[in-house]
C-alpha cells in the first residue's frame, strides 16, 4: 500500500475534490479531519500534507487551529486558502482580516517558482476568501499576486512549505492540476505510484475485513454505481453475495431487461429480480413533495430488502453504490442538505443491515475506471448516471402509472435522437422531465390542454457542478416534434438551460 498524501480537512467545501485531483495524478490520498490529523500523521506515515480551505477566520475566537504535527513532521506541505492562513499565522506572517475579499474568477500574476514551473505568467484562478496574507512569514517569498492581494501564493522551498490563496483543485482555476503536480513531484520530490488496480485492491481488502464470513445483499438499481459496487463485492466475497434487483417500475424504457441480462449473461453473479412495481406505486400515491418521494423510496427499498433477507435467512450486510456527491448533497460532513438521496438521507434510522459502501469516497469517473478494470461490459459501465429514485424525480408532482409512461416515452425519444446524432457521448446526462404543468395548444382544428415536457442535457466532469448542453437547434427541433407527435398527452416541449449551481441536475 502506498503511503498516502494526507488531506487535512478544516471544513472545506472542496476537500474531497482535492483528494480526487491527487489520485488523478497517480498518488494515493486520504482525507482526515483536522482534529484527527496528529494521530493520522503518526499512524499513516504520509508522504506529504495538504491543508484545505475552511469557513473560519484564523484570527477569530474558536477558529480551527493548525495541528501541532504538521510543522513537527517536517513533511512537504501545501496550504490552500484557509490552509495558507494557518501556515502564515503559525510561522510569523501578517494576516489582514476582512479588509480584502475576493470571490470567483480572479487574474493572478506569478513569479518563477516551484508551484508555477512550466505555467504561463498570467493565470485565471478561483478565489473565495475574506482574510488575506499581507506579508509572508520569514523564509517565504511571495510568488503570486492579484490586483488586491500582494501574497496570493508563497513558498519556502528549503523547508518544502507552499501555499496558495486560491483553489487549484477546482476546474475554474487555469492549470490548477499542474500546480498540484508541481507541488507533489517537484516540491515534495515524489513519484506517482497509485493506480486503479490499487484502488480495487484497497476496496476488496476493506470489504473482506468488514464482511468476513458473512453474507451480503447488493441493491442493484440499474445504474453504474450499484453495478460496480456489486462487481467489487463479488470479487471480495464471491457467492456470499446475492444481487437483488428491485424492479420498482420507475426505470427507463427497457432498463429492467438490460440489468438482468448484464448480471446473468455478461457478468454473471448470483442474481434475483423482484417485481415490486405495484408496491412502489401504492407507496407513492398522491405524494408531491420531492423530499418525501425520496424518503419513501428509501424506506420501500429497505423494506423490500428486509423482507427478502428474512425469507432467505443469513444475509446481514447490505451493499450500496453510494458515491461522494450523494453524501455531500444529502448533508454529509458539514454540507447543507440539498436533496436526500434515497440511499443516504432517505434511509430509515433502523435498516436492519450493516451497510457496505465500497464507493462512498469516489467520484463517478473513478467508479467507471474501476468498472472497466473489473471487466464489466460497456453497456453497464458507460451508461449515463441515473438517479436512485428513478423516474419518480423526473415526474414533477404526484407519480402514477400513466405519468410514468409519459415520462418514459419522452425520455426514450430524447435518448434515441441523441444517440443517432452522435451527441450522447459528449454529455454527462440527458433525459426528459414531465414538468407538472399544462399548456394550451392546437392540434388539428381543436384546442388542447396537455402536459409540458422539458428536455434536460448537461455536461460535467463529476456531477458536483454542471453546465447545460449546447445542442444543435435542428436536433432539438427533431426531438420536440417527435415527442409532441408520438406521446399523445404532451402538447409542448421546452429546453432547460440552467447550470448547476444554481439548479441541480435533476428537477427534484
Name the residues annotated as catalytic.
Answer: 81, 167, 169
DSSP-assigned letter for residue 119: S
Q: Match 438499481 to its residue by C-alpha cell.
A: 221
301 burial via Cβ count (<10 Å: 0-12, 13-18, 19+): buried
Q: Are 466 and 428 in contact (CB under 8 A)?
A: yes
Of the candidates 344, 332, 362, 389, the one whose C-alpha atom is nearest the C-alpha of residue 507 is 389
DSSP-assigned letter for residue 335: P
- DSSP result, 220-238: E-SSHHHHHHHHHHHHHHG
Give the span between the Cα atoms of 22 and 447, in whole angstroms: 59
Check the CA dihedral 37-40-42-44 and report its sign. Answer: negative
Give the span between the Cα atoms of 298 and 393, in whole angstroms: 13
Of the candidates 189, 115, 196, 207, the one whose C-alpha atom is nearest the C-alpha of residue 152 is 115
Question: Is 447 strand, coil or helix?
Answer: strand
Give the span between the Cα atoms of 346 and 292, in whole angstroms: 9
Give the span between the Cα atoms of 376 and 374, in whole angstroms: 6
What phi and psi, each to the nearest 5 degrees, are found at residue 457? Answer: -135, 140
Give the span between the Cα atoms of 489 and 356, in whole angstroms: 42
347, three cell numbers:
434511509
Name 352's Cβ contacts closer than 8 Å, sequence gap at least 6: 302, 306, 309
Question: Is 320 strand, coil or helix?
Answer: coil
Give the span between the Cα atoms of 307 and 353, in whole angstroms: 12
Check the CA dihedral 296-299-302-306 and report its sign. Answer: negative
Give the span between the Cα atoms of 286 and 282, in whole angstroms: 9
388, three cell numbers:
436512485
Amino acid at each position: 500500500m502506498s503511503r498516502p498524501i494526507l488531506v487535512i480537512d478544516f471544513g472545506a467545501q472542496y476537500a474531497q475534490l482535492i483528494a480526487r485531483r491527487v489520485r488523478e495524478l497517480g498518488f494515493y490520498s486520504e482525507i482526515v479531519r483536522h482534529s484527527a490529523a496528529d494521530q493520522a500523521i503518526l499512524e499513516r506515515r504520509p508522504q506529504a500534507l495538504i491543508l484545505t480551505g475552511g469557513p473560519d477566520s484564523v484570527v477569530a475566537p474558536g477558529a480551527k487551529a493548525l495541528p501541532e504535527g504538521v510543522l513537527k513532521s517536517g513533511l512537504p506541505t501545501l496550504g490552500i486558502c484557509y490552509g495558507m492562513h494557518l501556515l502564515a499565522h503559525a510561522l510569523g506572517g501578517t494576516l489582514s482580516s476582512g479588509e480584502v475579499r475576493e470571490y470567483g474568477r480572479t487574474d493572478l500574476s506569478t513569479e518563477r517558482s516551484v508551484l508555477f514551473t512550466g505555467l504561463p505568467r498570467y493565470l485565471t484562478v478561483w478565489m473565495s476568501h475574506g482574510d488575506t496574507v499581507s506579508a509572508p512569514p520569514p523564509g517565504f517569498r511571495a510568488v503570486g499576486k492579484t490586483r488586491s492581494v500582494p501574497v496570493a501564493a508563497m513558498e519556502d522551498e528549503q523547508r518544502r512549505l507552499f501555499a496558495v490563496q486560491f483553489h487549484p483543485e477546482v476546474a475554474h482555476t487555469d492549470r490548477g492540476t499542474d500546480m498540484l503536480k508541481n507541488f507533489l513531484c517537484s516540491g515534495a520530490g515524489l513519484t506517482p505510484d497509485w493506480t486503479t488496480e490499487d484502488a480495487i485492491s484497497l476496496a476488496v481488502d476493506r470489504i473482506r475485513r468488514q464482511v468476513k464470513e458473512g453474507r451480503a445483499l447488493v441493491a442493484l438499481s440499474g445504474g453504474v454505481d450499484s453495478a460496480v459496487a456489486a462487481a467489487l463485492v463479488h470479487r471480495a466475497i464471491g457467492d456470499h453475495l446475492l444481487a437483488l434487483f428491485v424492479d420498482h417500475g420507475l426505470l427507463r424504457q427497457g432498463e429492467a431487461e438490460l440489468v438482468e441480462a448484464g448480471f446473468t449473461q455478461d457478468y454473471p453473479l448470483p442474481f434475483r429480480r423482484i417485481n415490486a412495481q405495484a408496491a412502489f406505486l401504492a407507496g407513492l400515491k398522491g405524494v408531491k413533495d420531492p423530499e418525501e418521494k425520496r424518503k419513501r423510496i428509501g424506506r420501500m427499498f429497505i423494506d423490500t430488502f428486509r423482507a427478502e433477507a428474512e425469507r432467505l435467512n443469513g444475509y446481514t450486510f447490505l451493499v450500496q453504490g453510494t458515491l461522494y456527491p450523494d453524501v455531500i448533497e444529502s448533508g454529509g460532513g458539514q454540507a447543507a442538505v440539498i436533496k436526500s438521496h434515497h440511499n443516504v438521507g432517505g434511509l430509515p434510522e433502523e435498516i436492519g443491515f450493516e451497510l457496505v459502501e465500497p464507493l462512498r469516497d469516489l467520484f463517478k469517473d473513478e467508479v467507471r475506471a474501476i468498472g472497466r478494470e473489473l471487466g464489466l461490459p460497456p453497456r453497464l459501465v458507460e451508461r449515463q448516471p441515473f438517479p436512485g429514485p428513478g423516474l419518480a424525480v423526473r415526474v414533477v408532482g404526484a407519480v402514477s402509472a400513466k405519468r410514468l409512461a409519459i415520462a418514459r416515452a419522452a425520455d426514450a425519444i430524447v435518448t434515441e435522437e441523441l444517440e443517432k446524432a452522435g451527441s450522447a457521448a459528449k454529455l454527462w446526462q440527458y433525459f426528459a422531465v414531465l414538468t407538472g404543468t399544462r399548456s394550451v395548444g392546437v392540434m388539428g382544428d381543436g384546442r388542447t390542454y396537455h402536459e409540458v415536457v422539458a428536455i434536460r442535457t448537461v455536461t460535467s466532469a463529476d456531477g458536483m457542478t454542471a453546465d447545460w448542453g449546447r445542442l444543435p437547434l435542428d436536433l432539438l427541433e427533431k426531438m420536440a416534434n417527435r415527442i409532441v407527435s408520438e406521446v399523445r398527452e404532451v402538447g409542448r416541449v421546452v429546453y432547460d438551460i440552467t447550470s448547476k449551481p444554481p439548479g441541480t441536475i435533476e428537477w427534484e
